[in-house]
Structure 1
Amino acid sequence: MTRRRARNLSPEERRLWSHVARHVKPMKGKMPPPEPEPDEEPAAPPARQVALKPAALPALPPQPKAPSLPPLAPVERKTLQALRRGRKDVDSVIDLHGMRQEEAHFALIGFLHRAQNSGHSVVLVITGKGGAAVSSGLYEERGVLRRIVPHWLRLPDLRSLVVGFEEASPQHGGSGALYVRLRRRRGAG
């Protein structure tokens, strides 16, 4: 078996590796690679690449940087305790059970927008628990809204409205309902 000869990295490859390595946490006892010294002369393209004529490349407009989505956070412990102990009421309630998925999705989006515009901070979304699954079909599912509403609340189009959500306490519907904490409206307060 012949040993392979180690190939040295080009200055461009070293710069690229250094850039990648800066964004990774090193393992215990390992040091990050040293920064490469900047070359005084511009790096020549590798000999294997063929230079394309400038006219052959279409001019792309610069991509605007998409605003980062705010992360979801759990509902604050004090708020949850106050809701569960009855010291705080939910600001508004929507009951989705009995609706079809598409109808429930549009109703939820409209409700959350209206609640935020009204200055509400915590709302209750009732999904229903779903009945017992009937064994008549292999793919029959019960409690579809109960499973899909949390997914909807995590989607980018609702992230600007929702801070976080938690399962409701038994007096508010338990596993068939969610407390949803809303973001403050921009320009309000």
Structure 2
Amino acid sequence: MNTPHIDIEANRAARKYSRKELLGRVLWSLASLLFRFSPRLAWGWRNMLLRLFKARIGRNVRIFPTVRIIIPWTLTIDDGATVGDHAILYALGPMKIGASATVSQGAHLCGGSHDFRDPAFPLWRAPLTVESEAWIAADAFVGPGVTIGRGAVLGARAVAMKNIPANAVAAGNPAHIVGTRSPSAPASNVKG
């Protein structure tokens, strides 16, 4: 059986970002120190820093200082959303977190990957959406190209590699629907 030759060095040397993007990433890595070491309650300060880097941040957004954000200019977070401690927003492609949505501690929203079908593993940037009033629970993973529907819940440590419909409650790896949530019910009334 012939295994195709994979030129790893060529892949590593390939330009994946424009000069402007590279400069922005370097500047953000420096500014992110001001983000990370800000006081916990300095919500406005962190939102302002993100806006300086072209992130679209709504009113009353709460992003904790330990959140890791890659490429802020691809990020949109609507009014009243919260992103908890140690969450990762790997926003290689457009990433949107809707109004009043919650991304809990340790969650990982991944807006990019590599095309495993191609031996050169080219970079793939994909949109990722968490719609309004959805909840991504602790340590959950949302993959590239996925939409978590309005009011949906992705349970703790679940892995969503496919869309989760509105008001669905999903759990497991891979995530599957385990219940539904009433559009007007608080999260404590979830069945499943």
Smaller-chain TM-score range? under 0.3
Asked which structure has the greater RCO (Cα within 8 Å, sep 6+), the reply is 1
TM (norm. structure 1) is 0.19
Q: Please identify which structure carries the higher helix content.
A: 1
Q: Which has the larger radius of gyration?
A: 1
